[in-house]
């Protein structure tokens, strides 16, 4: 059976990582059975999760996992979309992954209270007690440095709130009252948008952008619908 390497589920989320959630959602959309292995981080080909082992073929990165599934299973996650919709689907996915996810990651990792409730609690579960404090400190410092270099870490809370509100408004307007981003059926971007909204609305990570998202009934209903459909075990 196909194996996906992830971090493991945390309260309210199918995995700690939105990229793992995205890849798991793609697998569910394609009706491909899989098992999750939370022990593969050290061997990750790109130093990040997710990656998959598909009968010995190792594929890293959620987008390359999508392309691998499309090629090997003869499927097209964007079937039925026009070229313009495909372009919109890609643009929205990358808005989520390259802008909104780093913004949420900033709040998740750098705010002490958020960290303690979310990633910190995960580390308390998976790290041996003696190394926990130093490991948590070092990983947080590393992530803060990376977010500074990426750019999102240079904004103050007011600026982040303004940027996040724009992302949220964009997603809400594009979704309208449709069940999925592009209409009646799920497309590739739905996996990424769902994963991002699940992370954004996670009660462990408080932010102005979360409040903005919770103020959009169509986005809340979408997150709930996707979670109920693909991860009914997550409450
Ligand atoms: N472009 C990658 C991004 C994956 C990614 O950033 N994964 C993070 C978790 S959210 C990770 O493994 N980070 C560990 C690290 O960078 O050390 C994808 O789409 O799979």
What's the CATH code of the domain at 56?
A: 3.40.30.10
Residues 87, 192 within the same domain: yes
Query: Same structural domain for residues 45 and 64?
Result: yes
Tell me, what's the pLDDT at 46? 97
Same domain for 141 and 186? yes
Domain assignment present for residue 118? The answer is: yes
**Is 78 part of a structural domain of the chain?**
no
At residue 220 the predicted structure's pLDDT band, cuts being 50, 70 and 90, is very high
Are residues 68 and 98 both part of a single domain?
no
Ligand 1 atom with least separation from CA of 101: 10
What value does the mean pLDDT take over residues 56-75?
98
Closest ligand 1 atom number to CA of residue 17: 10
**CA angle, 2 then 222 then 59, to 5°:** 20
Identify the domain containing residue 133 by its residue range.
Answer: 83-230
The predicted-structure confidence for 81-110, as pLDDT tens digits, reads as follows 999 999 999 999 999 999 999 999 999 999
User: Which protein residue's CA is at the shortest distance from atom 19 of ligand 1?
Assistant: 62
CATH of the domain at 218: 1.20.1050.10
pLDDT-based confidence at 136, cuts 50/70/90?
A: very high
Question: Hey, what are 96's tokens?
Answer: 């989520």
Answer yes or no: do 208 and 120 share one domain.
Answer: yes
- pLDDT at residue 221, rounded to an integer: 98
Q: What residue owns the CA closest to ligand 1's atom 14?
A: 48
Average pLDDT, the chain: 97
* 143 Cα: distance to centroid of ligand 1 (angstroms): 11
User: How far does the centroid of ligand 1 lie from the alpha carbon of residue 114, in Å?
Assistant: 19
| pTM for the structure as a whole | 0.97
CA atoms within 13 A on the CB side of 179: 9
| Torsion, Cα of 2, 100, 211, 172 (10° steps) | -90
Query: Total domain count for the chain?
Result: 2
Counting runs of H as helices and runs of E as strands, what totals does the chain give?
Answer: 11, 4
Q: Whose CA is nearest to atom 6 of ligand 1?
A: 48
Residue 235 has pLDDT above 90, yes or no: no
Residue 6 CA, ligand 1 centroid: distance in Å: 10
- Does 137 lie in the same domain as 90? yes
pLDDT digit string, tens, across residues 158-217: 999 999 999 999 999 999 999 999 999 999 999 999 999 999 999 999 999 999 999 999
Name the domain boundary from 44, 73, 102.
73
User: What residues flank ligand 1, with Cβ below 6 Å?
Assistant: 17-19, 47-50, 61-63
In a domain, 107, yes or no: yes
pLDDT at 87: 97
Domain-embedded: residue 102: yes
Give 27's pLDDT tier (boundaries 50, 70, 90): very high
129 and 221: one domain? yes
Say whether pLDDT at 140 is over 90. Answer: yes
Rounded to the nearest angstrom, the distance between the alpha carbon of 50 and the centre of ligand 1 is: 7
Are 107 and 147 contacting, i.e. CB atoms less than 8 angstroms apart? Answer: no
């Amino acid at each position: 059976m196909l194996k996906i390497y992830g971090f493991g589920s945390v309260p309210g989320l199918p995995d700690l990582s939105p990229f793992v959630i995205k890849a798991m959602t793609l697998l569910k959309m394609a009706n491909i059975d899989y098992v999750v292995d939370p022990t593969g981080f050290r061997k990750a080909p790109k130093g990040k999760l997710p990656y998959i082992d598909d009968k010995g073929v190792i594929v890293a990165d959620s987008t390359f996992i999508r392309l691998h599934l499309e090629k090997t299973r003869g499927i097209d996650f964007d079937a039925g979309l026009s070229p313009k919709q495909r372009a919109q689907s890609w643009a929205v996915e990358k808005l989520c992954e390259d802008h909104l996810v780093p913004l949420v990651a900033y709040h998740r990792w750098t705010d002490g209270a958020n960290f303690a409730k979310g990633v910190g609690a995960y580390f308390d579960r998976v790290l041996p007690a003696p190394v926990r404090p130093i490991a948590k400190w070092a990983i947080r410092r590393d992530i803060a440095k990376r977010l500074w270099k990426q750019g999102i870490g240079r904004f103050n809370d007011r600026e982040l709130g303004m940027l996040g509100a724009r992302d949220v408004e964009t997603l809400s307007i594009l979704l309208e009252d449709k069940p999925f981003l592009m209409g009646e059926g799920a497309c590739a971007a739905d996996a990424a948008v769902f994963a991002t909204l699940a992370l954004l609305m996670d009660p462990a990570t408080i932010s102005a952008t979360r409040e903005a998202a919770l103020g959009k009934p169509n986005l809340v209903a979408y997150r709930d619908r996707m979670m109920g459909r693909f991860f009914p075990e997550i409450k």
